C-alpha cells in the first residue's frame, strides 16, 4: 500500500470517553448513595470516585497532539507548536464507526480515538481501509 495517498488530519480529543466516564461516575455515586453503608464510608467512597474521575478527565484532556499524518507506513504526530514526532503503529482497534490507534513514539505511547465527534467520516473510512490491509489474512478454516 505504499502507493496509497497520504492521510493527514487535525486531531482534538473526542468528548465520547469523557461523556461515558461522567455517566459511569453518576451511576457509581448513585449506587454509593443507595447502599446500606454508614455515612462515613459513603462519604469516603464518594470522595474517592470524584477524585478518580477528576484525574481521569485531566488525563483525557491533555493529549497535546494537534495533527496526524500517515504516508505509506510512516506515521507522524504534530504537536501544537508544529513539532513533528515520528511514530510507529503499535496497535489499532475498530470499534463500530470509531478507530482507536496506539502509536509508539520516542516519548512514549500516544492513544488516539477517532470518533464521529472529532474526525471526519471520510478520514475514518480511509483509515479503516488502510488498517484493514495491515491485518493478516484469516484462514478459511476458522
| Beta-bridge partner residues of 74 | 71
Contact 100, 92 (CB under 8 A): yes
The answer as to whether 140 is a domain residue is no
The answer as to whether 105 is a domain residue is yes
In this structure, what C-alpha cell is assigned to residue 106? Answer: 520516542
Q: Quick one: pLDDT at residue 31?
A: 96
- Edge to edge, what strands does the sheet with 98-105 contain? 7-10, 65-71, 74-79, 84-95, 98-105, 108-114
Ranking 31-35, 57-61, 95-99, 123-127 by mean pLDDT, the lowest is 57-61
Q: Measured at the alpha carbon of residue 69, what is the angle toward residues 66 and 73, in degrees to the nearest 5?
A: 145
Contact 67, 75 (CB under 8 A): no
Confidence of residue 28 (pLDDT cuts 50, 70, 90): very high
Domain boundaries, position 41: 16-61
Q: Quick one: pLDDT at residue 134?
A: 74
The answer as to whether 2 is a domain residue is no
pLDDT in tens, 118-135: 888 999 999 998 888 876
Rounded to whole angstroms, the Cα distance separating 99 from 85 reads: 20
Q: Quick one: pLDDT at residue 42?
A: 95
Residue 75 in this model has a pLDDT that exceeds 50? yes
Residues 115 and 93 in one domain: yes
Residues 43 and 79 in one domain: no
Confidence of residue 73 (pLDDT cuts 50, 70, 90): confident
Residues 89 and 128 in one domain: yes
Average pLDDT, the chain: 86
The answer as to whether 98 is a domain residue is yes
Q: How many domains does the chain have?
A: 2
Count H helices, E strands: the chain? 3, 6
Find the mean pLDDT for residues 66-95. 88
* Residue 38: strand, helix, or coil: coil
The answer as to whether 139 is a domain residue is no
Amino acid at each position: 500500500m505504499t502507493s496509497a495517498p497520504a492521510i493527514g488530519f487535525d486531531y482534538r480529543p473526542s468528548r465520547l470517553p469523557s461523556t461515558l466516564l461522567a455517566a459511569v461516575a453518576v451511576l457509581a455515586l448513585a449506587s454509593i448513595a443507595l447502599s446500606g453503608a454508614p455515612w462515613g464510608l459513603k462519604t469516603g467512597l464518594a470522595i474517592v470516585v470524584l477524585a478518580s474521575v477528576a484525574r481521569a478527565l485531566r488525563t483525557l484532556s491533555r493529549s497535546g497532539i494537534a495533527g496526524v499524518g500517515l504516508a505509506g507506513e510512516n506515521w507522524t504526530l504534530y504537536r501544537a507548536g508544529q513539532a513533528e514526532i515520528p511514530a510507529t503503529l503499535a496497535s489499532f482497534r475498530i470499534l463500530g464507526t470509531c478507530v482507536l490507534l496506539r502509536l509508539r513514539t520516542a516519548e512514549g505511547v500516544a492513544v488516539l480515538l477517532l470518533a464521529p465527534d472529532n474526525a471526519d467520516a471520510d478520514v475514518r473510512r480511509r483509515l479503516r481501509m488502510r488498517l484493514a490491509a495491515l491485518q493478516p489474512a484469516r484462514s478459511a478454516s476458522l
